[in-house]
């Protein structure tokens, strides 16, 4: 019998909800680790940004067959020297914010764990930004006028919550190993995303945009993304346009209600 | 019709919706799918044109067809899959003209079609093609020879000498040579340096127009998918030569040969004259390069050419495509040999072209021709 456990769900409540597996939330410090050892899960899906307690506890879970860790495409970094289409073997760009650095630490820890426990399948999922999860990017794209950086039109690949959950379920089912990029199948320029949503783009000089971004609570890694964009060779998922249209469709109807 | 459709499973309905291109189908409930498909099928019965090949049948919204002229032997237009936009440069209406711009603008603004994975926007690229053609035909009066050396299909590389000092005019003219003169108008995917990614406005326009960033990954993508790559193996050093060294090639990089060898792609040596006299460089400055490195810390430029004319000079251009060479082995020495061979062939042709030009017109730079 497979026992699937989702940990760190509080860091991505919408995604955890869409997955629908049993959750074990990170308690204070070692309390969480003890609970995890007691549970003896066979599949662990970790959504959180930290891995010390998790990997420590998993060292004592003999039943463990498959560990899946959520990472983010932000791990690639972004910048003017980035290839136009990234693959899991592409070199990482110099990290320019703390989010990217913490993701790289997380991935390194998980890879070390994979070497220690060759009997466990380990999957690192690098997810594209998810639309409709009440995250900062969804809030930003839902603005009636979307501010952008003057002179830059980033290419973005966005995921819907359902697509992300479906891709994850597929990974659990097939026990896919290794590092996977999961993103919308066709990248769109930010200007087109705005047009699809019937919104106006308001380009602002970069310093002003950065100040506005801190007011909008848009984290640094998303500001960098909105300058240079990022495109990967995606996993088999829906077209970014469908995702965007659905996002704006539901946003519109819910705003009327 | 709804009753018939209702008997199908959701899975079949999704597949049907996919063939009919129903927007938002992936998360529509069954009833929604039935309604949307029925609407399209009824609409098709009412308004299907007498000749199904005449206009594009792609649905841009539920029940609204694209209506642009269909590409050859397809029932969709250039924008909606009628041609492989990454490889073929074909105008949406079969010809370029300002009368086509309103329709193009409408599609650009309603965002109904896809960009290619490198970021090419076929409408922006077509508008750029149309505008730059005035530069190509009336200003630089580009003369092309040896266009038959450019392969009609499959992965291939155009390797040309670089010049211009102010703007990479050769990077703009090279794709036009192939689009305007070749029998099968292919799109040349020129690759440029990271400064293009840093400059406001240029940062997205160059991608939309069909260029890419000069990195092994981008070049490999172009060749892996069987497209036509355009490179300037001299890089920035070639771009910034002083006028006294015009048409004296700087040492070629080897990256383009390495990637060509991986895909067995023929390399077409390309000699361009004209580019060096558009903004003649008076001298090169290391101090100015230092200032540029302060503004763009990631730039590796060591010298910058200084030129005075704000308006490009109307020099007559000549572009010669030479016999292709295919790298068959990928060891280091073979790659160096091919790189040197391509450089020698281009240098030899450039020398002949410059000599022929000055003896024919007694002019230094072809302004009088």
Tens of pLDDT, residue by residue over A3-15, are 888 988 888 888 8
Q: pLDDT category, B298, cuts 50, 70, 90? A: low
Lowest mean pLDDT segment, chosen from A68-72, B38-42, B49-53, B358-362: B49-53
Tens of pLDDT, residue by residue over B111-136, are 889 899 999 999 999 999 999 999 99
pLDDT at residue number B120: 96
Asked if B218 has any chain A CB less than 8 Å from its own CB, the reply is yes
Output B256 or B293, whichever has higher pLDDT: B256
What DSSP line would sit under chain A, residue for residue? ---EEEE-GGGSHHHHHHH--EEE---STHHHHHHHHHH--SEEEE-SS--HHHHHHHTT-TT--EEEEEEEGGGG---TTS-SSB-TTSPPPPP-SHHHHHHHHHHHHHHHHHHH-TTSEEEEEEEPPEETSS-HHHHHHTSSEEEEETT---EE--EEHHHHHHHHHHHHHHT--EEEEE--SS-EEHHHHHHHTT-EEEEE-HHHHHHHHHHTT--HHHHHHHHH---B---S---HHHHHHHHHHHHHHHHH-
Instruction: Spell out which chain A residues touch chain B, with contact meaning CB-CB distance below 8 angstroms.
Output: 79-87, 90, 150-155, 160, 162-163, 186-189, 192, 195-196, 228, 231, 233, 238, 241-242, 245-246, 249
Tens of pLDDT, residue by residue over B302-325, are 777 777 788 889 999 999 999 999
Cβ(A104)–Cβ(A221) below 8 Å: no
Long-range contacts, stretch A56-61, CB < 8 angstroms, 24+ apart? A57/A32, A57/A33, A58/A113, A58/A117, A58/A120, A59/A116, A59/A117, A61/A36, A61/A37
Instruction: Give residues 14 to 43 of B whose Cβ lies within 8 Å of A.
Output: 23-27
Asked if B114 has any chain A CB less than 8 Å from its own CB, the reply is yes
Average pLDDT over residues B357-364: 68
Q: How far is B43 from chain A, CA to nearest CA, in Å? A: 22
Chain A residues with CB inside 8 Å of B25's CB? 242
Chain A residues with CB inside 8 Å of B195's CB? 80
Q: Tell me, yes or no, if the pTM score tops 0.90.
A: no
Interchain CB distance below 8 Å, A246 and B298: no
Q: Is the pLDDT of residue B363 over 70?
A: no
Chain B residues with CB inside 8 Å of A85's CB? 117-118, 217-218, 221
Which residues contact residue B272 at a Cβ distance below 8 angstroms, ignoring those fewer than 6 apart? B160, B161, B163, B170, B173, B174, B317, B318, B319, B320
pLDDT at residue number B269: 97
Residue of B nearest to A206 (CA): B200
pLDDT at residue number B50: 43
**Nearest-CB residue to A195 (from B25, B109, B119):** B109
Interchain CB distance below 8 Å, A189 and B217: no
Per-residue tokens: A227: 């300058």
Tens of pLDDT, residue by residue over B209-226, are 999 999 999 999 999 999
pLDDT at residue number A257: 28
Interchain CB distance below 8 Å, B207 and A245: no
Which residues contact residue B235 at a Cβ distance below 8 angstroms, ignoring those fewer than 6 apart? B162, B193, B214, B250, B253
Q: How far is A227 from chain B, CA to nearest CA, in Å? A: 10
Interchain CB distance below 8 Å, B213 and A84: yes
Q: Where are the domains of chain A?
A: 4-256
What whole-number percentage of chain B has pLDDT above 70? 91
- Which CATH number is associated with domain B122-361? 3.40.1130.10
Asked if B224 has any chain A CB less than 8 Å from its own CB, the reply is no
pLDDT at residue number B26: 60
Q: How far is A166 from chain B, CA to nearest CA, in Å? A: 12
pLDDT at residue number B183: 87
Q: What values do phi and psi take at B303, rounded to 5?
A: -140, 145
Q: Is the pLDDT of residue A127 over 50?
A: yes
Q: Is the pLDDT of residue B90 over 80?
A: yes
Q: Is the pLDDT of residue B108 over 80?
A: yes
Interchain CB distance below 8 Å, B215 and A151: no
Which residues contact residue A13 at a Cβ distance below 8 angstroms, ignoring those fewer than 6 apart? none
- Which CATH number is associated with domain A4-256? 3.40.50.720
Tens of pLDDT, residue by residue over A27-75, are 667 788 888 888 889 999 999 888 888 898 898 888 899 999 999 999 9
Q: Strand pairing of B143-145 and B156-160?
A: unpaired
Q: Which residue out of A164, A192, A198, A229 would a mutagenesis test of the B interface target, given it has the greatest number of B Cβ atoms within 10 Å?
A: A192
**Nearest-CB residue to A84 (from B109, B110, B118):** B118
pLDDT at residue number A256: 33
Which residues contact residue B106 at a Cβ distance below 8 angstroms, ignoring those fewer than 6 apart? none
pLDDT at residue number A253: 39
Interchain CB distance below 8 Å, B118 and A85: yes
Per-residue tokens: A110: 């998980």
Q: pLDDT category, B53, cuts 50, 70, 90? A: low
How many A×B Cβ pairs under 8 Å? 93
Q: Which residues on adjacent β-strands are paired with residue A241?
A: none
Q: Is the ipTM of this complex over 0.85?
A: yes
What single DSSP character describes residue B318? E
Q: Which residue out of B18, B80, B192, B200 would a mutagenesis test of the A interface target, given it has the greatest number of A Cβ atoms within 10 Å?
A: B200
Interchain CB distance below 8 Å, B200 and A151: yes
Average pLDDT over residues A143-147: 94
Tens of pLDDT, residue by residue over B157-192, are 999 999 877 788 999 999 999 999 998 889 999 999
Interchain CB distance below 8 Å, B115 and A81: no
Lowest mean pLDDT segment, chosen from B11-25, B134-148, B270-284: B11-25
Q: What are the start-end ranges of the E strands in chain B?
A: 59-61, 64-65, 143-145, 156-160, 188-192, 212-213, 228-231, 267-273, 283-285, 304-306, 318-321
**Nearest-CB residue to A83 (from B24, B114, B215):** B215
Q: Is the pLDDT of residue B21 over 90?
A: no
Asked if B105 has any chain A CB less than 8 Å from its own CB, the reply is no
Q: pLDDT category, B8, cuts 50, 70, 90? A: confident
- The per-residue pLDDT of chain B, averaged, comes to 86
Average pLDDT over residues A212-226: 94
Output B363 or A116, whichever has higher pLDDT: A116
Interchain CB distance below 8 Å, B298 and A81: yes
Q: Is the pLDDT of residue A172 over 50?
A: yes
Interchain CB distance below 8 Å, A84 and B23: no
Cβ(A196)–Cβ(B110) below 8 Å: no
Chain B residues with CB inside 8 Å of A242's CB? 23-26
Asked if B294 has any chain A CB less than 8 Å from its own CB, the reply is no
- The per-residue pLDDT of chain A, averaged, comes to 88
**Nearest-CB residue to A80 (from B207, B216, B298):** B298
């Amino acid at each position: 019998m497979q026992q699937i456990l989702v940990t760190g769900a509080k860091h991505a409540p919408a995604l955890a909800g869409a997955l629908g597996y049993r959750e074990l939330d990170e308690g204070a410090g070692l309390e969480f680790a003890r609970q995890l050892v007691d549970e003896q899960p066979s599949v662990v899906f970790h959504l959180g940004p930290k891995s010390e307690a998790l990997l420590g506890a998993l060292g004592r879970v003999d039943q463990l067959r498959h560990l899946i860790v959520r990472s983010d495409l932000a791990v690639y970094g972004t910048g003017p020297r980035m290839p136009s289409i990234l693959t899991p073997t592409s070199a990482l760009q110099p990290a320019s914010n703390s989010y990217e650095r913490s993701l790289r630490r997380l991935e390194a820890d998980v890879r070390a764990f994979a070497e220690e426990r060759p009997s466990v399948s380990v999957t690192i999922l690098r997810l594209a930004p998810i639309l409709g999860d009440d995250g900062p990017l969804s809030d930003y794209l839902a603005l009636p006028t979307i501010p952008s950086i003057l002179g830059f039109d980033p290419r973005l690949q966005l995921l819907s919550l359902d697509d992300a959950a479906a891709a994850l379920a597929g990974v659990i089912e097939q026990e896919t190993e290794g590092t996977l990029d999961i993103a919308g199948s066709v990248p769109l320029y930010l200007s087109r995303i705005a047009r699809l949503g019937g919104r106006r783009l308001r380009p602002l000089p970069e310093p002003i945009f950065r100040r506005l971004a801190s007011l909008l609570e848009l984290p640094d890694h998303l500001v960098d993304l909105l300058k240079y964009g990022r495109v990967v060779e995606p996993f088999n998922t829906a077209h970014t346009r469908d995702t965007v249209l659905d996002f704006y469709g539901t946003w519109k109807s819910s705003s009327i209600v | 019709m709804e009753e018939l459709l209702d008997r199908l499973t959701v899975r079949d309905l999704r597949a049907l919706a996919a063939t009919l291109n129903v927007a938002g189908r992936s998360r529509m409930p069954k009833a929604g799918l039935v309604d949307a498909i029925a609407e399209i099928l009824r609409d098709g019965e009412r308004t299907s044109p007498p000749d199904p090949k005449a206009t594009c049948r792609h649905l841009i919204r539920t029940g609204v067809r694209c209506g642009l002229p269909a590409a050859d032997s397809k029932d969709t237009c250039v924008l909606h899959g009628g041609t492989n936009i990454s490889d073929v440069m074909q105008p949406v209406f079969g010809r370029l003209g300002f009368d086509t711009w309103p329709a193009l603008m409408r599609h650009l603004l309603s965002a109904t079609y896809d960009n290619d994975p490198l970021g090419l926007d076929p409408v922006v690229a077509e508008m750029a093609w149309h505008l730059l053609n005035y530069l190509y035909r009336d200003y630089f009066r580009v003369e092309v020879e040896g266009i038959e050396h450019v392969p009609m299909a499959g992965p291939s590389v155009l390797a040309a000498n670089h010049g211009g000092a102010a703007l990479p005019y050769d990077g703009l003219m090279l794709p036009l040579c192939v689009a305007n003169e070749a029998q099968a108008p292919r799109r040349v995917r020129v690759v440029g340096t990271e400064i293009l990614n840093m400059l406001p406005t240029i940062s997205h326009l160059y991608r939309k127009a069909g260029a890419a960033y000069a990195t092994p990954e981008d070049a490999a993508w172009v060749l892996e998918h069987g497209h036509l790559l355009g490179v300037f193996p001299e890089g920035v050093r070639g771009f910034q030569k002083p006028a006294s060294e015009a048409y004296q090639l700087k040492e070629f990089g080897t990256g383009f040969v390495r990637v060509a060898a991986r895909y067995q792609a023929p390399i077409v040596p390309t000699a361009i004259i004209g580019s060096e006299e558009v903004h003649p460089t008076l001298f090169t400055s290391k101090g100015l390069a230092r200032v540029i490195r302060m503004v763009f810390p990631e730039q590796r430029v060591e010298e910058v050419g200084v030129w005075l004319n704000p308006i490009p000079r109307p020099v007559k251009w000549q572009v010669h495509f030479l016999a292709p060479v295919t790298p068959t082995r990928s060891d280091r020495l073979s790659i160096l040999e091919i790189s040197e061979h391509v450089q020698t062939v281009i240098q030899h042709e450039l020398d002949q072209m410059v000599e022929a030009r000055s003896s024919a017109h007694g002019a230094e730079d072809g302004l009088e021709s």
